[in-house]
């Protein structure tokens, strides 16, 4: 959780047409931009050096930088996002990452993997198979991570959960908050699994930065549960980004 840097991308007006699994109302652009700005400000307040790349109006989901690459102190990996409309987000990420990382690896395909499906634990990575990450992509990514000295295991994402990390997020090195459908994930063996309170499944996509957890402001039972564990929390507005299926980890690359 000891990140020093983050890379975000400002939302373009087209973000209101971002992908979503179920037909629902578009987000309000001003509200979405405000949620993004508050997120960037919070990361800075927590001590991170945050760069915000310019908006890409041709790619409504480009503000979710987490899905197109992985970043580590050891290097970065350009991914192959599984949604066809997001494939073109990768190229504009190449130069910014090359400028910040000495080693830049790249998936070549034919498989696909989204960063939202990749969870970093203290001792290994988990790559979740999902509608966006297929087995060929997960295996190619695991091999690339191996060259960075990072061990990866492949897991299943439950049906109806967009990304693996839509359904879980680390509370600390030994504990994970997970939706009930993911609580029995075999790759969580050795971790304490805390289930999301009923009705607060969307709270699972939290984000720990240093000693602080960013959590959706709406999720009062989850906030209480985290506070009871003595963790500092920052409640964040997520109402507009939630309309396009996003949560708190999605809006940055961190290292």
User: What positions carry a catalytic annotation?
Assistant: 163, 250
Interface characters, 156-185, with ligand CIR (x: CB under 6 A): ------xx--x-------------------
Rounded distance between C-alpha atoms, residue 81 and residue 67, angstroms: 7
Out of 62, 125, 207, 244, the residue judged to bind ligand CIR by CB under 6 A: 244
Q: Does 67 bind ligand CIR (CB under 6 A)?
A: yes
Interaction between residue 19 and ligand CIR (CB under 6 A): yes
DSSP 3-state percent helix, strand, coil across the chain (nearest 5):
35, 25, 40
Q: Helix, strand, or coil here: 214?
A: strand
- CA dihedral angle for residue 63, residue 154, residue 225, residue 230, rounded to 10 degrees: -90
Q: In terms of CB distance, is 187 or 252 closer to ligand CIR?
A: 252
- Choosing from 130, 177, 245, 254, the residue that interacts with ligand CIR (CB under 6 A) is 245
Under rule CB under 6 A, residue 89 binds ligand CIR: no
- Residues that contact ligand CIR, how many (by CB under 6 A): 18
Q: Dump the DSSP string for 19-51.
A: --SS--PPPPHHHHHHHHHHHHHHHHHTT-EEE
Out of 225, 246, 248, 253, name the contact with ligand CIR by CB under 6 A. Answer: 246
Give the separation between CA 71 and CA 5, rounded to whole angstroms. Answer: 10
CB-side neighbour CA atoms (13 Å) of 248 = 29
Site string for ligand CIR, 109-138 (x = CB under 6 A): -------x----------------------
Give the Cα separation of 102 and 92 in Å (integer).
18
Return the range that interacts with ligand CIR (CB under 6 A); candidates 87-95, 151-159, 194-202, 244-252. Answer: 244-252
DSSP-based three-state secondary structure for 135: helix
Q: At closest approach, how far in Å is the CB of 116 from ligand CIR?
A: 2
Q: How far is the CB of 83 from ligand CIR (least distance, A)?
A: 5
């Amino acid at each position: 959780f000891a990140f020093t840097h983050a890379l975000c991308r400002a939302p373009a007006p087209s973000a209101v047409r971002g992908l979503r699994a179920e037909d629902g109302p578009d987000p309000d652009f001003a509200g979405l931009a405000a949620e993004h700005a508050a997120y960037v400000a919070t990361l800075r307040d927590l001590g991170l050096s945050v760069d915000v790349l310019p908006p890409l109006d041709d790619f409504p989901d480009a503000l979710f930088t987490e899905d197109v690459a992985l970043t580590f102190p050891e290097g970065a990996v350009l991914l192959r996002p599984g949604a066809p409309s997001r494939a073109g987000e990768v190229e504009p990420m190449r130069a910014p990452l090359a400028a910040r990382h000495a080693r830049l690896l790249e998936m070549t395909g034919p498989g696909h993997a989204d960063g939202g499906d990749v969870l970093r634990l203290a001792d290994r990575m988990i790559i979740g198979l999902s509608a966006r990450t297929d087995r060929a992509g997960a295996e190619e990514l695991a091999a690339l991570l191996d060259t960075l000295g990072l061990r990866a295991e492949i897991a299943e994402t439950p049906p109806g959960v967009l990304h693996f990390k839509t359904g879980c997020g680390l509370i600390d090195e030994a504990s994970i908050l997970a939706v009930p459908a993911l609580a029995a994930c075999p790759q969580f063996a050795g971790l304490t699994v805390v289930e999301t309170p009923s009705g607060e499944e969307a709270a699972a996509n939290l984000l720990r930065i240093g000693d602080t957890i960013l959590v959706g402001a709406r999720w009062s039972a989850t906030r209480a549960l985290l506070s009871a564990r003595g963790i500092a929390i920052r409640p964040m507005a997520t109402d507009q980004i939630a309309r396009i299926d996003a949560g708190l980890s999605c809006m940055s690359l961190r290292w």
